[in-house]
Amino acid sequence: MKGHGEKLSRNQERAISALLVHPTMTQAADAAGIGEVTLWRWLRIPAFKEQYRLARREAVNQAVGQLQAACSVAVVALTDISKDVNCPASAREASAARTVLEMALKGVELEDLAVRVE
């Protein structure tokens, strides 16, 4: 990892994937088949750190896309619940559907901000 633009090793790529899905460094290191100290050391390497940052960003972008795709379903749910006189008033709020819409809108804002920052 001495030269600029060198690719990460397979173990390092596996470590980044593990960091994305495991809640702790210990679990990520175990899943990647490396020591925790090694993982901590790799996180100080600029190229590794940058690839990890890019992988996290892509994971968030995919999640935002899924939220946005769920918007039409959320809108239908909100509309149906709001029209159903047999539903209790608390259900009419449909907090889960509203949350999906709010998160999707927040995702658009974050994407716009990322474009401006770049």
Q: What is the pLDDT of residues 32-79, one digit of tens each?
A: 999 999 999 999 999 999 999 999 989 888 888 888 888 888 778 777
CA-to-CA dists, residue 22 to 3, 8, 18, 110, angstroms = 30, 20, 6, 24
Under 8 Å CB-to-CB from 31, ≥6 apart: which residues?
A: 14, 18, 21, 22
pLDDT confidence of residue 33: 96
* pLDDT one-digit tens code per residue, 76-98: 877 777 777 787 766 666 666 77
pLDDT recorded at residue 5: 53
Instruction: Yes or no: say if 43 and 49 are a contact pair by the CB < 8 Å rule.
Output: yes
As assigned by CATH, the class of the 8-59 domain is mainly alpha
What residue ranges do the domains of the chain occupy?
8-59, 70-118
Of 13-17, 18-22, 113-117, the range with the lowest mean pLDDT is 113-117
Residue linked to tokens 């809640």? 23
